[in-house]
Every structure is written in C-alpha cells, then in structure tokens.
Amino acid sequence: MSEMIWEPRRVAAVRADLPPGVTPSGTRGRILEASLELFAEHGYAGTSIRDIGKRVGINSATLYAHYTSKENVLTELIQLGHQELYTRLATAAAAATEPPERLAALVRAHVLAHAEYPLLTVVANTELHAVPADLIDGALKLRAACRTMLLDTLRAGIEAHVFDIADPILTALAISSMGMRVGQWFGPDQPYTAEAVADEYARLALRIAGADTRDAERK
C-alpha cells in the first residue's frame, strides 16, 4: 500500500490543473495544458512540439499561431507557477502575525500549492535551467520574495525567543525542501488529502524550528 508514493516518476499526477482564471481560452489554453502535462512527465527537452500538437489534436505548426516558440510556452508556465505560489504565500503571511502561526501558515500554503498544482510546481522548479536568464526575471524575483518571507519569519521567531534555531538558512532550506518535493509524489494514487499533508508538514516545520509546542500539545 502507498507503494506508488515512492516511485521515481517525475510526477504522480496526470491531469494538468492550472489555477482558476489563468488558463487562456480556446486552443491557446489547451496548448498550455498539454505542454504542462508533457513537460512535467518527460521534461522540456524531452518533449517535441509534435508531441504537444498530438495531445492537443492540432498540427504542430498551429502552435505558432498562439506562441512564438516552444520556449515561450515554458516561460509562461514558469511564470504562472511562481505567481501562484507567491500569491498564496503572501496571503498566508498576511493572515498571521506571530512567528509560529505565520510559519505554520506559510508551510501550509507552500504544501497546498505543490499538492494542488503538482505538474505546475514540478515544471516551475525543474525546468528553470532550460530558459535564458532574462526570460525568467520575473519568476526569479518571485522566488526571492518567497524565501525572504520564510527567512524573515524564522528570524522574527528567533528574536521573540519562540524558536530554537541554530542556522536560519539551513532551517529554511530544510523546510522548503520538504514542500518542494510534494509535487513529485502527491497524486491520486496515494491515501492523503492535500489538507492532511499540509497540516502534518506545518506541524513538522514547527518542530524543525524548535517551537515549544509542549504546552499546546498537552491540552
């Protein structure tokens, strides 16, 4: 049971889910979703425009009526993925002020984003190298903002003496690593809900940060 969780697929999910409101209408949107599925499963370099056309049900040449290049499709996906993650993290951070609550909210949002949009986060996290740096300026700025939110929260908790952290950078790396991999194993063939994973990982993050939750747990 749950054996599939450990399989070394690039992604466990199969259907491309994009955040509501961002999918372009018509053929352009279907190209974007098909590309997301293929890039997630086979990688950007391992996917041809003919593969994309076949999945959409159009000739590969038709793609160029909607995007200037294959690279352009990937760039749009990467931007979408980073925008969605940043928006969720910023909303989560704004909803909690105390460091422990804010850390839990950030981790929950981080995990939920990776569990609800596994294909998108896998592509956004693994295919950045395939795009020239100037095309992903926006995504890199969003990444920087995301890690600043996490680090600032950890440091605020240290100053308030509610966290016990030896090295904020290593701690932040450990916490974000847990969440980033969720997109690679979370899918329909495992027994957890996204909410359950988010809740548990938030609890583990508080432990990592050395938050003293003994009183709360004894209640």
Contacting residue, 12, 34, 178, 202, with a copy of itself by CB under 8 A: 178
x-marked contacts with DNA along 28-57 as a string, rule CB under 7 A: -------------------xxxxx-x---x
Does 21 help bind a copy of itself (rule: CB under 8 A)? no
| Residue closer to DNA, measured from CB, 65 or 169 | 65
For residue 148, what are its two tokens?
């600043």
| Residue closer to DNA, measured from CB, 60 or 190 | 60
**Nearest 5 degrees, angle CA 119-CA 52-CA 6?**
30
| Residue closer to DNA, measured from CB, 67 or 201 | 67
Q: How far is the CB of 62 from a copy of itself (least distance, A)?
A: 24
Q: Using N-to-C axis directions, what is the helix angle for 70-94 and 26-42, rounded to 10°?
A: 90
Residues 115-174 within binding reach of a copy of itself (CB under 8 A)? 125-126, 128-130, 140, 143-144, 147, 166-167, 169-171, 173-174
Contacting residue, 64, 95, 137, 148, with DNA by CB under 7 A: 64
Per-residue H/E/C for the chain: CCHHHHCCCCCCCCCCCCCCCCCCCHHHHHHHHHHHHHHHHHCCCCCCHHHHHHHHCCCHHHHHHCCCCHHHHHHHHHHHHHHHHHHHHHHHHHCCCCHHHHHHHHHHHHHHHHHHCHHHHHHHHHCHHHCCHHHHHHHHHHHHHHHHHHHHHHHHHHHCCCCCCCCHHHHHHHHHHHHHCHHHHCCCCCCCCHHHHHHHHHHHHHHHCCCCCHHHHHC
Quick check: 110 and 176 in contact, CB under 8 A?
A: yes
Residues 190-219 within binding reach of a copy of itself (CB under 8 A)? 192, 197, 200-201, 203-204, 207-208, 210
Does 181 help bind a copy of itself (rule: CB under 8 A)? yes
Residues that bind a copy of itself (CB under 8 A): 2, 5-6, 8-10, 41-46, 125-126, 128-130, 140, 143-144, 147, 166-167, 169-171, 173-174, 177-178, 180-182, 185, 192, 197, 200-201, 203-204, 207-208, 210
Binding residues vs DNA (CB under 7 A): 26-27, 47-51, 53, 57-62, 64-66, 68-71
